[in-house]
Chains A and B, each alone.
Chain A
Amino acid sequence: MKKTELLQGNEACVKGALAADCRFFAAYPITPSSEIAHRMAYELPRRCGIFIQAEDEIASLGAVIGASLAGAKSMTATSGPGFSLMQEHISFASIAEVPCVIVNVMRGGPSTGVPTHPSQGDVMQARWGAHGDHPIIVLAPSSVAECFSLTVEAFNLSEKYRTPVIVLSDEFIAHLREKVSLPSSDEIELVERPKPAEPPEVFVPYRDPGTGVPPMPSFGEGYRYHVTGLCHDERGYPTTRADEVEPFIRRLFHKISRDLDKLQWGETYYTEDSTLNIIAFGSVARAGLTAVKTARAKGMKVGLLKLLILFPFMRRKVTQLMESSTTILVPEMNMGQISREVKRVNQGRCHVETLNRVAHEPIMPQEIMHKIEEIYG
């Protein structure tokens, strides 16, 4: 029998990172993410890994990028105010194609806001906070078990695509303790960054091997190459030539978008015959599921799509649901961020209703149920 244990969301993130073989963690502690740093400070030195409490969040992600270039799977964790400081380096990791994982445990904002309460106010910051047009992968756990599994997947995706991946948790999930039984290491599939097959003398660091993801040697392995935030050519040298910049930026997008059909990570509940469907993520998805079950008990045809990946937005799965929906309801702890994405892909297929809460308190199942009854009329 598998070992069951009581784990907190943040602790599960740490366990996921360690299961994914994270070797380096740098962060500046901030509520409600601090338990991740606490636990990493304890665990990593015992595994010959490195923990650094940095002077701030800019340095944290800078150190993480450096460690990743040296070959260590690396992570940082923060909350809204620190996440803002990291945006510059997210942009850098994106253009320099450095795998790294950033956990942002969302709390009430803007600014220092309500530090100990939950929010989902950083959805668009996770997508667009970093400057410049760039692709990004954002995952959103809604349980302790998903804090574990999605952190593992965050490492896998970052390694596979050589890109920063954001785990967008929230205070309600991060501080939640649940009984879980985590998979053993032989049940977990890990992905490692592609390595060059050719010898250092003929290595061209940013040549597209056909997958859009160039092989990445670690510093110290004998390969010499240039890492820069400037647009660069295949050799890594800065370029302003349109015929080099355009394909380069397009490759950054294409390396992820070519796999869009594999990245439709969402779970559907009761959607076989539903005409009113809820689209939710994070802690709100659970309130949504309770509301759906209550509505079903009253004979209402209501379903739920829980988003596990927020970006790239799972247009295919969402539009498929829209085809069979009269109304989509999007409850979220912000003034309407994922609902903007839902409306963007809707294209007049159905009505999109929103339920927004910015009291920095969880959305209750009863609130969603009221809205369902209102829509049902």
Chain B
Amino acid sequence: MRYEIGIAGSGGQGVILMGVILAKAIATSQELFVAQTQRFDPAVRGGKAESSLVISDEEIDYQGILGFDLLLALSQEGCGRNIEKLKKEALLVMDSELVKEAIWGKILKIPFTKIARESFNDERVANMIALGVLTELCEYTPSSAVKASISSEFKGETLNLNLSAFQKGIEMAKGQKFNFETAEEEEGEI
């Protein structure tokens, strides 16, 4: 078994932190191997920011990406750069406010940033809502372990805010899990 998750966005969205939180959750709760890598530009905000995880039941030889099973796109550029690295049956989750164009078979569109703004009055927690969705979609990330991992990164009010956003994501994923748009529909439109 080898399962690969990608998170692609831009600097400032908390993309790398999401990868670290997931990796830590897997490393501490599962009898699985995990490797987390990151790609980023020297610019702190706005530049490329990507985080990826390899989850395996055997020792991981190549620590980088062979093909994503699950990709979260939080920017149009991030989506464009990584869509070709998706495996055939892979699932693409995207922030529908930030990613306008994506042609792929299994897509889940959620306006994470908009929800963060409207429900939490803070766009910064869009990553935690998305993390909740990823946690629910990926079978190797128990939500209790991800919660513990989030709790090791934040304190006080910030922790509460992030945990609430994470919970929101979990609930949203539960409702939408099998509600994928299909490639046929996309092709029909063209």
Name A residues whose Cβ lies closer than 8 Å to a Cβ of B. 4-6, 31, 115-117, 143, 172, 175-179, 283, 286-287, 289-290, 293, 362, 364-366
Contact = CB atoms under 8 A, between A and B. Distances in A.
B40 A116 contact: yes
Contacts of A6: 20, 23-24, 27-28, 34, 36
Given A115-B42, A177-B36, A172 B23 contact: no
Contact of A176 (B27, B36, B40): B36
A287 B65 CA distance: 10
20 contacts: A4-B27, A6-B27, A31-B42, A116-B40, A175-B37, A177-B20, A177-B36, A177-B37, A178-B36, A179-B23, A179-B26, A179-B27, A179-B33, A179-B34, A287-B64, A290-B61, A290-B66, A362-B64, A364-B66, A365-B66
* For the complex of A and B, 10 pairs with smallest distance between CB atoms: A290-B62, A6-B27, A179-B27, A177-B36, A289-B61, A290-B61, A6-B24, A365-B62, A178-B35, A286-B62
A362 B66 CA distance: 12
Given A179-B32, A286-B62, 15 more contacts: A4-B27, A6-B20, A6-B27, A6-B28, A6-B36, A115-B42, A117-B39, A175-B38, A178-B35, A283-B64, A286-B61, A290-B62, A364-B62, A364-B64, A365-B62
Interface in B49-100: 60-64, 66
Interface of B: 20, 23-24, 26-28, 32-42, 60-64, 66
Contacts, number: 66
B-side interface mostly: mixed
Nearest to B67: A366
A-side interface mostly: mixed
A362 B85 CA distance: 15
B30 to A, nearest CB: 9
